Chain A
Amino acid sequence: MTLTLSDLPSVMPLDVNPVPWARAQMAFTLAFHIVLVPLGVSWAAMTLIANYRAIKRKDVDALRMAQRWSKYMAVTFAVGAVTGTVLSFEFGLLWPQFMGKWGEAFGIPFAFEGLFFFIEAVFISIYIFGWRRLKPWAHFWTGVPIPMAGILGSASVVAANAWMNSPQGVTLDASGNITEVDPVGVILNEAMPLMATHMIIAAYLVGGFLIASVYAAGMLRGRMDRYHRLGFIISFTVAAVATPVQMGVGDGLARWVYTNQPTKFAAIELVPQTGSDEPEILLGRLSSSGQVEGGIAVPGLASWLSDPSTGRGTVIQGLDSFPADERPTISQVNVVHLCWDIMVGLGTLLFLFSLWYWASWIFRRDMPRSRWFLRGAVIGGPLAVVSMEAGWTLSEVGRQPWIVYNQMKVADAATTNTGVWLTFIAVTLLYAALGTTLILVLRGMSRRGRERDRFEDTDTPYGPPAPAGGSEVRTR
């Protein structure tokens, strides 16, 4: 028997429903990318803080810090650029029907994102080149566009995601196809301002806690020098400023969801039936019959938080006021509620931690010296990442079953290619290797940085080439 290429799919076990695999792959690659984003957005700002201090106070430690951070930042940015490029493939490879129908609106923010991304890449390169080629202040100013482009770029991406929650700026004909697009309306959709602010502040919060945890670990191992102290103070201060702001923004966003996405809000607050005086339920879950099980109920708090002006009398729409196929399933509701608990719980913990830090500065004019504080700071970074991932998961799962809220369902948007399970496995393995290598490489760079104690701009992506004959010789 001879086989042709078109027989291949029937020979291999490729005939698998692509929808769950497409969702899994998108979720996994985004979950990976979203960890790199904070570093790309906020690390540049922290590097500039160190750089500013280095010039202003003639601080050699701060200078060394800025130089090293700029190199680590370039590595994480390069990996983030790759995982971001993959996402632009995946929009089409996994969600062709979604892009085919809504691309003319949803795609617009990405045009701006591409622009900001390129500006960021060029200026990272200029900044790294500039260490040894520009005068200090001129060099400092070439770094300023990096965090600005990072902020605008993430605002653009979040604008696209916000549009999926709040699809505005489009005119539809009777059969639901787009006839006209108002680009400004698409970008500045109602969900965008709060969602973008929430994400950008999260970038500073997570980036700050993550970097601080590295320096806290160093200090616990006895590296109590000025350099480690400085690295900790810069990063932790950024995080400790971002955390209280984030709680305010998050509160505003939750109220926006209450008003505009009642299905998501009902899932967040675990409200099966419409009613007033709804309790805030910590932990707990919906049983298969749709009743709340377990958890600690704080009477009336969910209603009160939703709209303090009407207090405990505020009515929250329950899941039962929507048809079953237009709201999240029970297991999705449980995921959303659990993620909400994790996000808010860890956020509160980090907030208390920030208070400890501020109190110490106010009363003792120094950062806390307790080893328990440092131990907490070590886990603060991972906790902040978990909190951010939980927040993003609740936003995405809470929108289910919709990919475009009230317009298109996820199941109708996915590719018909049945081989997605294979690409999912390949992507998972590849990203696992990528993540491991990233951490190993950063650790290696940090170790060499400690041993070498001088700055080289040639061993960095986006940096200048090594002088001919240099790189290979140095390695022997």
Chain B
Amino acid sequence: MSTAAAVLLMVAVTFYAIFGGADFGAGFWDLTAGSPERGRRPREVIEHSIGPVWEANHVWLIFVFVVLWTCFPEAYASIMLTLFVPLTLAAFGIVLRGASFAFRKAVTQVRDQRIFGGTFAISSVLVPYCFGAVAGAIASGRVPSGGRAGDPWSSWVNPTSIVVGVLAVCVVAYVSAVLLTWDAGRLSDEEMVAYFRVRAVVVAVVAGVVAMAGVLVLRSDARYVFDGLTTRALPLVVLSVLAGVGAFLLLRGRPRRGARVAALVASGALVLAWGVAQWDYLLPETLTVSQAAAPAGTISAVLVVGVLAALLIAPAFAYLYTLHQKSLLPDEGVDEGQQPPSRSARGAQRNS
């Protein structure tokens, strides 16, 4: 029972890392695209590629919180008490990002768009770093069990947290660069394909270096997770690396759809590897999943919600994506704004 809840938790974390991460990564490239003039074309591709409900991807984060606080309340209390600072920063980043998302498309002046765009981009880097630091704190056993607070600063300003935080920023930037390369290919924009492809390669190399450094750091600083990564989680690590490299191969020449999947698999497998590596601890070496678990009634309720979510949300999402691809209904030759008086509402709906 508690295992099922842990699996659900890990699924929610992974989905947030994949889908939310791709959103954050797009913000990273928005930030680094340069002045409005120079960055205009990359930003257009970014604008075009971002999913329709993207800021709603935070729902995965809410699911993570909900599963934690219902199924593992004691661990949740410890995490929130100890990691008050990075989680507060992340919350602020999410507010700023979400607000910019809500407003950016609704304002028309370039100056206003730049303000919202800039806020959006900076918080896109801040939030994944903070979540990475939080993951590092948990992995290195710096969050005590029993709903107690650990050190408010060294819990997240430490080698593991820093390296995982940087790695998180690199991974989301990488995934997003791959998705953007593919999107530029779909728009038949060769120049932008090259633009994002180069960036994907560069950030992948950086991510690789950070990951190597991370392995060394984990070996001395988070031994339990290091041991897990090199044994039971090793297949996932290998899968992540292979998928990451595979995405490149699929980007050569004309970008292929498989590149997207490969990039998502690469980041998803990495997050899952962390989960498997610290199994069966929720807070490594102090609190196991089964010790932390809530009563059976709670866990079954949460599992029911998980199943319902899969049944209801997946088809709705699929429908949305088909709409996304669908072309506009024909205009019936009526120019916008000059409406003949006898026009039917149906025509009006199509034309307006």
Is there contact, CB below 8 Å, between B300 and A92?
Answer: no
Choose among A54, A79, A111, A464 the residue with the greatest number of B CB atoms under 10 Å from its CB: A111
* B78 contacts across to A, CB distance below 8 A: 96, 100
Interface of A is mostly: helix
Is there contact, CB below 8 Å, between A78 and B101?
Answer: yes
Q: Is A430's CB within 8 Å of the partner chain B?
A: yes
Is there contact, CB below 8 Å, between B66 and A463?
Answer: no
* A464 contacts across to B, CB distance below 8 A: 52, 324
Is there contact, CB below 8 Å, between A114 and B305?
Answer: yes
Which B-chain residue is minimally distant from A476 (CB atoms)?
Answer: B110
Is there contact, CB below 8 Å, between B149 and A417?
Answer: yes
Q: Is A82's CB within 8 Å of the partner chain B?
A: yes
In Å, the complex CA distance between A86 and B294 comes to 24
Interface of B is mostly: helix
In Å, the complex CA distance between A81 and B101 comes to 11
Is there contact, CB below 8 Å, between A122 and B345?
Answer: no
Out of B91, B294, B323, which one reaches A126, CB within 8 Å?
Answer: B323
Known interface pairs A6-B153, A119-B312, A458-B105; A183-B65 also in contact (CB < 8 Å): no
Q: Which of A143-187 contact B (CB under 8 A)?
A: 178-183
Number of A-B residue pairs, CB cutoff 8 Å, is: 299
* A126 contacts across to B, CB distance below 8 A: 316, 319-320, 323
Q: Is A89's CB within 8 Å of the partner chain B?
A: yes
In Å, the complex CA distance between A296 and B63 comes to 50
In Å, the complex CA distance between A95 and B50 comes to 35
In Å, the complex CA distance between A114 and B87 comes to 20
> How many chain B residues touch the partner (CB < 8 A)?
95
Q: Is A8's CB within 8 Å of the partner chain B?
A: yes
Known interface pairs A100-B77, A178-B295; A475-B110 also in contact (CB < 8 Å): yes
Is there contact, CB below 8 Å, between A93 and B106?
Answer: no
- Binding-face segment, A127-135, A226-234, A311-319, A363-371: A127-135
Is there contact, CB below 8 Å, between A99 and B80?
Answer: yes
In Å, the complex CA distance between A332 and B173 comes to 51
What is the distance, in angstroms, from B274's C-beta to the closest C-beta of chain A? 21
Q: Which of A445-476 contact B (CB under 8 A)?
A: 445, 448, 453-455, 458-466, 468-469, 471-472, 474-476
* A359 contacts across to B, CB distance below 8 A: none
Is there contact, CB below 8 Å, between B323 and A134?
Answer: yes
Q: Is B346's CB within 8 Å of the partner chain A?
A: yes
Q: Is A220's CB within 8 Å of the partner chain B?
A: no
Out of A102, A104, A136, A419, which one reaches B295, CB within 8 Å?
Answer: A104
Known interface pairs A475-B108, A475-B110; A85-B94 also in contact (CB < 8 Å): yes
Out of B40, B294, B337, which one reaches A472, CB within 8 Å?
Answer: B40
Which A-chain residue is minimally distant from B344 (CB atoms)?
Answer: A58
In Å, the complex CA distance between A129 and B329 comes to 11
Q: Is A64's CB within 8 Å of the partner chain B?
A: yes
Is there contact, CB below 8 Å, between B147 and A474?
Answer: no
Q: Is B221's CB within 8 Å of the partner chain A?
A: no
> How many chain A residues touch the partner (CB < 8 A)?
101
Which B-chain residue is minimally distant from A417 (CB atoms)?
Answer: B84
Contact with A along B78-114 (1 / 0, CB 8 A): 1111001101101110111011011101111110010
Q: Is B212's CB within 8 Å of the partner chain A?
A: no
* B44 contacts across to A, CB distance below 8 A: 468-469, 471-472
Choose among A92, A132, A178, A445 the residue with the greatest number of B CB atoms under 10 Å from its CB: A92
* A437 contacts across to B, CB distance below 8 A: 99, 103
Q: Is A297's CB within 8 Å of the partner chain B?
A: no
Q: Which of B166-196 contact A (CB under 8 A)?
A: 187, 189
* B336 contacts across to A, CB distance below 8 A: 454
Q: Is A105's CB within 8 Å of the partner chain B?
A: yes
Is there contact, CB below 8 Å, between A122 and B50?
Answer: no
In Å, the complex CA distance between A130 and B56 comes to 18
Q: Is A103's CB within 8 Å of the partner chain B?
A: yes
Is there contact, CB below 8 Å, between B105 and A463?
Answer: yes
19 further A-B pairs in the complex, CB-CB below 8 A; given A89-B90, A110-B70, A416-B149:
A78-B101, A86-B91, A89-B65, A92-B76, A92-B80, A97-B77, A107-B69, A126-B316, A126-B319, A136-B349, A183-B300, A416-B81, A417-B84, A458-B105, A461-B102, A465-B48, A466-B105, A471-B44, A475-B108
List the interface of chain B (C-beta within 8 A of A): 40, 44-45, 47-50, 52-53, 55-56, 58-59, 61-63, 65-67, 69-71, 73-74, 76-81, 84-85, 87-88, 90-92, 94-96, 98-99, 101-103, 105-110, 113, 147, 149, 151-154, 157, 187, 189, 294-298, 300-302, 305, 308-309, 312-313, 316-317, 319-320, 323-324, 326-329, 336-337, 339, 343-346, 348-350, 352
List the interface of chain A (C-beta within 8 A of B): 5-6, 8-9, 54-55, 57-60, 63-64, 67, 71, 75, 78-79, 81-86, 88-93, 96-97, 99-105, 107-108, 110-112, 114-115, 117-119, 121-123, 125-126, 129-136, 139, 178-183, 415-417, 419, 423, 426, 430, 434, 437-438, 441, 444-445, 448, 453-455, 458-466, 468-469, 471-472, 474-476
Enumerate the 9 nearest inter-chain pairs by beta-carbon distance, A residue then B residue, closest first: A100-B77, A92-B80, A103-B73, A82-B98, A183-B301, A107-B70, A104-B294, A78-B102, A121-B56
